[in-house]
Structure 1
Amino acid sequence: MTFSARRIFAILQKDYKDLSRNLYVTTTLFMPLLMAALFGRMGMGTISSYYIVINMGFILVATYVQSALIAEEKEKNTLRGLMLSPASTMEIFCGKSLLSFIATAVVVTGSILLSNYNPRNMAVIAIALLLSAVFYVGLGTLIGLFTKSVMEASVVIVPVMLIFTSGSLLIPLIEKYPVLAVVEYMPNLQLLELADRVETGAGLGDTLLHLLVILAWVLVIHAVAAYVYKKRMVDE
């Protein structure tokens, strides 16, 4: 079966129509922008504050919107029809992720501008943000596959948001509890550490390890999502 851009854009158009009808999900797109504008006016110009907003954008847009779109398909019993359509798994994944990815890019870019974040090396930050966006969309896909409705996805997203926006609070505990050292490899903390190093003059070579760790998260989350999706095809 050949890869079809037409099928991908057809899925994208359907998702756009579904999202535009869901006011509750759509309003979440504006929350990171409002927070960024507030932080910008308050002059909270620390790397940590910038990335609280950016990670909030990833969770509320890339993860929540993506999970809501897939959960809604399950709620309406249309995901099964999509699975049985001529579209391949890759086409369905690309099509179902495209709207969330575009919305994430717009919201995160707007948040950066509104919060007056000006990194010393925008190219490295852009690569890290791109990889992070792909990871969080994959996380949203996985949550959507496990939840049965938009409301259920809305509940699940709360602990996920706490984990990926406040994980840095666990760092001071690492010395006391070495088992928590794994927390340092979370994608949000790798992104924050990368951003800290960029501000000290680090370039692509100096931050390559952080980018590879985030890339590893991307590959793992999408591999797990693809496995769960194919299992759902058989089970249903």
Structure 2
Amino acid sequence: MNVSLKRIQAIFMKDYKEFSRNYAISMVIFLPLILALMYRQTGAESIQSYFLPLNMTFSMVTAYVQSCLIAEEKERNTLRSLMMSPASIADILLGKSLLVFILTGVILAVSAYIVGYAPSQVVPIVLVLAISTVFYLAVGTICGLFTKSVMEASLAVLPIILVFSFGPMALNLTETNVMYKIAQWLPSAQLVILAEHSQQGASVGEIVQPLLLITIWTVVAIVIAVLLFKKRTKDE
């Protein structure tokens, strides 16, 4: 699969201009920061309180903005032109994801600073946050490809926000609870579990397990996004 840096950069710049002009989408990036400020005022210092703004960033920024940018292309009928251009699938998907990836990284860093989260083991946390970002980019791409307009994309992301952002709260329940047994497999919950293990100085094996599960979620989401993109290419 050929990858052209020039084409990726061109798609990135196009998305940047559209994002900066669309205030309805761009203003969303401030919501996790506002939530982080609110949590800072409460004085909560648990891993779950630290990671709620971070998980909200993934769903409300990464998935939401990505889906809206894809849906906006479809709504304007410009995605078809992009698909028919010499750009490969990798060029398009990487170019369409680069802006949101950078935005997510910045907001995650600022949110973590605001709530005062300082991981004892930086490398595994940064790695799992990067993998999680890719997962939510793939989920956002899927939502954008399934919908026909920005409004539809906004509605399609709502279940993602509710389930993945607030799902980890079920970890406060007893292990015998049905909601706990289901929620613990969510990538957002595994992210919290990994952070807790890391903060407690757990062994490599205890950290690798949630990292592996999040990676599996990510690979599956990427495969679905690529297959759906190919299908949309034929449909168009």
TM-score (norm 2): 0.94
Question: 1:182-209: per-residue Cα shift (whole Å, max 9, x none)?
Answer: 4322100110100111111125443011
CA distance in 2, matches of 1:155, 1:173: 32
SS of the equivalent of 1:148 reads coil
Aligned to 2:103: 103
CA distance in 2, matches of 1:152, 1:211: 32
Amino acid in the other structure paired with 1:115: V
Give the aligned length.
Answer: 235
Aligned to 2:81: 81
What does 1:8-23 correspond to in 2, within 5 Å? 8-23=8-23
CA distance in 1, matches of 2:145, 2:199: 38
Question: 1:71-112: per-residue Cα shift (whole Å, max 9, x none)?
Answer: 000000010100000000011110000001000000111100
Q: 1:200 to 1:218 in 2, by over 3 A?
A: same
CA contact (8 A) 1:167 1:183 kept: yes
Aligned to 1:4: 4
What is the percent sequence identity of the aligned residues?
43
TM-score (norm 1): 0.94
Aligned to 1:145: 145
| Offset, 1:168 | 2.6
Aligned to 2:136: 136
Aligned to 2:181: 181
SS of the equivalent of 1:120 reads coil
Aligned to 1:66: 66
CA distance in 2, matches of 1:125, 1:26: 27
CA contact (8 A) 1:74 1:148 kept: yes
Aligned to 2:220: 220
| Offset, 1:175 | 1.9
CA distance in 1, matches of 2:178, 2:206: 28
Structure 1 residue runs of 5 or longer lacking an equivalent are none
| Superposition RMSD in Å | 1.6
